[in-house]
Amino acid sequence: MEKQIIWRGLLAGAVAGVLAFLFARIFVEPRIELAIGYEEGVGAAHEAAEAAAGVAAHSHGEGGGFTRAVQMNIGMGLGVLLFSLAIGALFAVVFAVAYGRVGNVSARLLSVYVAGGMLLSLYVVPALKYPASPPALSLDETIRQRTLLYLLVVVLSAVLLVGAVYLGRRLVARLGTWNATLAAGGAYLVAVAVLFLVLPGIHETPGPLVDGAGTIIYEGFPADVLYEFRLYSLGTQVVIYATIGLVFAALVSRLLGEQRRAVSA
């Protein structure tokens, strides 16, 4: 039974990966291209300022990495697909653990709840503290710190959400379903707020490039590009979790329906 559920989670993840790649390729990739163009423009302006000041320009050798065409098609496609498959498998495990243990909730509705909870705890909450940025916008010296802090928020947010669900279930008998849900949700929000206050912030958005006299020689990173990148990154995640939730709901409800009919027979 568990294996059948996990296989359906993987299938839902594969469908979500294809749709999310199409969304990211259309909406996210052009913003990455603009960010790379900004990085190249800053580099050229910096070299021009050094040349004007009589400083020898530093040569930047071309890397032997993949071309942009490969990165934006094959690289992005494989990355999104593998991520979606992993989320689909995790989704199936969470569903299998929660089914029958969170009250009288149908398989379809539980799938929607699990998808929404995973989207909230694994992406939305961490992104509020450490929002996504285009690759060209991040400083190399902070990669390790940013990665560890982001993963820490992901883990703690998931743990806090599980704790909130457990608290809500414990309070149902005393407060009723509605009030227990509000209390558990409030406890989760308070815990997340405390977490955000404790953890350090990372601010890497580059401002204008100025010369020694304080004259702006290159503008700061365009705010609209950063906003659109983060908005469409959120959209990609919504596509992944919504597709997994809906596809898995259809698949698992059929599976569980067949199981019930077999037991009845």
Assess if residue 104 is contained within a domain: yes
Question: How much of the chain exceeds pLDDT 90, in percent?
Answer: 59
Query: Where does residue 250 rank: exposed (0-12), middle (13-18), buried (19+ CB within 10 A)?
Result: middle
The confidence score (pLDDT) of residue 247 equals 97
Residue 5 burial (CB count, 10 A): 20
Residues 199 and 98 in one domain: no
Residues 103 and 198 in one domain: no
| Calpha distance 154→145 (Å, rounded) | 14
Assess if residue 254 is contained within a domain: yes
Domain span at residue 176 reads 141-203
The confidence score (pLDDT) of residue 31 equals 92
Residues 228 and 196 in one domain: no
Residues 97 and 4 in one domain: yes
Are the C-beta atoms of residues 24 and 236 closer than 8 Å to each other?
yes
- Given 203, 235, 252, the domain boundary residue is 203
Residues 163 and 253 in one domain: no
pLDDT for residue 91 is more than 50? yes
pLDDT for residue 256 is more than 50? yes
Residues 117 and 145 in one domain: no
Q: Which residues pair with 218 in a beta bridge?
A: 209
- Given 153, 176, 203, the domain boundary residue is 203
Instruction: Give backbone dihedrals phi and psi of 212, rounded to 5 degrees, phi first.
Output: -65, -25
pLDDT for residue 259 is more than 60? no
| Calpha distance 108→99 (Å, rounded) | 11
The confidence score (pLDDT) of residue 221 equals 85
- DSSP run (H or E) holding 210: strand 209-210
Phi-psi region of 103 (alpha: psi -120 to 50; beta: other; left: phi over 0): left
Residues 46 and 77 in one domain: yes
Assess if residue 240 is contained within a domain: yes
The confidence score (pLDDT) of residue 90 equals 97
The confidence score (pLDDT) of residue 180 equals 92
Question: Sorting pLDDT into bands at 50, 70 and 90, what band is 92?
Answer: very high
Number of separate domains in the chain: 2
Question: Sorting pLDDT into bands at 50, 70 and 90, what band is 111?
Answer: very high
The confidence score (pLDDT) of residue 254 equals 82
Residues 6 and 79 in one domain: yes
Assess if residue 214 is contained within a domain: no
pLDDT for residue 66 is more than 80? no
Between 210 and 93, the higher pLDDT residue: 93
pLDDT, mean of residues 105-134: 94
Residues 134 and 77 in one domain: yes
Question: Sorting pLDDT into bands at 50, 70 and 90, what band is 201?
Answer: confident
Tell me the Cα Rg of the chain: 23
- DSSP run (H or E) holding 250: helix 223-264
Residues 121 and 145 in one domain: no
Distance, CA of 43 to chain centre: 29
Assess if residue 62 is contained within a domain: no
How many helices (H) and strands (E) would you count in the chain? Answer: 9, 2
Of the listed ranges 33-42, 59-68, 245-254, the least confidently predicted one is 59-68
pLDDT for residue 62 is more than 70? no
Average pLDDT score, the chain = 87
Question: How much of the chain exceeds pLDDT 70, in percent?
Answer: 89
Residues 251 and 150 in one domain: no
Assess if residue 209 is contained within a domain: no
The confidence score (pLDDT) of residue 200 equals 92
pLDDT for residue 219 is more than 90? no
Of the listed ranges 46-55, 158-167, 209-218, the least confidently predicted one is 46-55
| Calpha distance 65→72 (Å, rounded) | 13
| Calpha distance 33→41 (Å, rounded) | 12
Residues 15-56 have pLDDT tens digits of 999 999 999 999 999 999 998 888 888 878 877 777 766 655
Assess if residue 32 is contained within a domain: yes
- Given 151, 176, 203, the domain boundary residue is 203
Between 225 and 140, the higher pLDDT residue: 225
Residues 73 and 129 in one domain: yes
